[in-house]
Amino acid sequence: MFFGKRLKDEIDYNNLPEHIGIIMDGNGRWAKKRGLPRSAGHSAGAESLKKIITEANKIGIKYITVYAFSTENWKRPKAEVDYLMNLLLDYLKDAENSLAGENVVIRTIGSRKELSAEIQEQIKKTENFTSKNTGIVMNIALNYGAREEILNAARQLCEDVKNGKKNPEDITDEDFAGCLYTKNQPDVDLLIRTSGEQRLSNFMLWQVSYAEMWFTDKLWPDFKPKDLRQAICDFQNRGRRFGGV
Ligand code: FPP
C-alpha cells in the first residue's frame, strides 16, 4: 500500500547533505584478510574512491572531502609512505582523464611544502585542469591535520590584530572559517568513517561541529555506492537541530 511517504531507503534529492566528509579506513585490514600486502589494500581503496566520487557527483552532492594522508601518517614505514605517495600521484594524473571528464573539481587541502616537488607540481596541474568544472568539488586531504589548520588560522588572525587590521573582539566565526583550507565552502553535514572505528583522528575539527556522524564496519575497499546512498538516507532521517529545539 502506498501512503504517499518516501521509502526510508530512497534519497530525497531536495534535502541532500551539501558537504560530505569521509575517513577512508581499513585498507590494511582488507589486505591482511586476503593475505595480501598493505599496499594492495591502498590500491583497492583508490579504486573504491573513484566509484564513490562518481556516485556522489551523480547524486548531486556539491562538496566531498576525503582523508587520504594525515600529518601523522609519515610515521608509517617508509615503503608504505612511498607507495601511498605514488598512488596519489597516479590518482591525480589519472583524474585528468577520468574524474575531470565527469565535471569533477579536484583540490587538495593540507600542507604542501613537505610533499615532493613532483607531487606539488601535479597538484597544481590537476587543480588548474579541473578548476573550470562545475560538478562536485572533491577536496583530497593530503598531509592534512585539523589542529595544524586551526593553528594556522589563529596565527593569521593574530597577524591581522598585530597589524591593526582587526580588533580581537570583532573576530567572527566567518573570519575564522575564512582562514581554513575550506574557505568559501560549507561546513561538513555528514561525516562517514569506515572500518568500525569511531573517532575523528584530527579530521576537519572545525568543519564537523554540526555534522551527523555515520559509521560502518565495512572496510574502505568494500564500501560501495549503495553504502553511500544508505548513509545519505540515514542522514535524511535524522533530526538536525543545530543547538535549537
Ligand atoms: C586508512 O587505512 C587509509 C589510509 C591511511 C590512506 C587512505 C588512502 C586511500 C583510500 C587510497 C589512496 C587515496 C587516494 C586519494 C589515491 P589503514 O591503512 O589505516 O588501514 P588499517 O587501519 O586497516 O591498517
Backbone angles phi, psi at 238, to 5 degrees: -100, 150
The 3 state secondary structure assigned to 6-65 is CCCCCCCCCCCCCEEEEECCCHHHHHHHCCCCHHHHHHHHHHHHHHHHHHHHHHCCCEEE
**Mean of per-residue pLDDT scores for the chain:** 95
**Cell numbers found for residue 143:** 598531509
pLDDT in the model for residue 1: 41
Q: In what order do the strands lie in the sheet with 137-144?
A: 105-109, 137-144, 63-70, 19-23, 190-193, 212-215
Query: Is 209 strand, coil or helix?
Result: coil
Ligand 1, atom 6: nearest CA belongs to which residue?
A: 68
The residue from 9, 12, 25, 175 that is catalytic is 25
Q: What is the pLDDT of residues 128-183, one digit of tens each?
A: 999 999 999 999 999 999 999 999 999 999 999 999 999 999 999 999 999 999 99
Backbone angles phi, psi at 235, to 5 degrees: -55, -45
What's the CA-to-centroid distance between 63 and ligand 1, angstroms? Answer: 20
Burial class of residue 193 (count of CB atoms within 10 Å of its CB; 0-12, 13-18, 19+): buried
Q: What is the pLDDT of residues 222-237, one digit of tens each?
A: 999 999 999 999 999 9
Question: What's the predicted TM-score (pTM) here?
Answer: 0.94
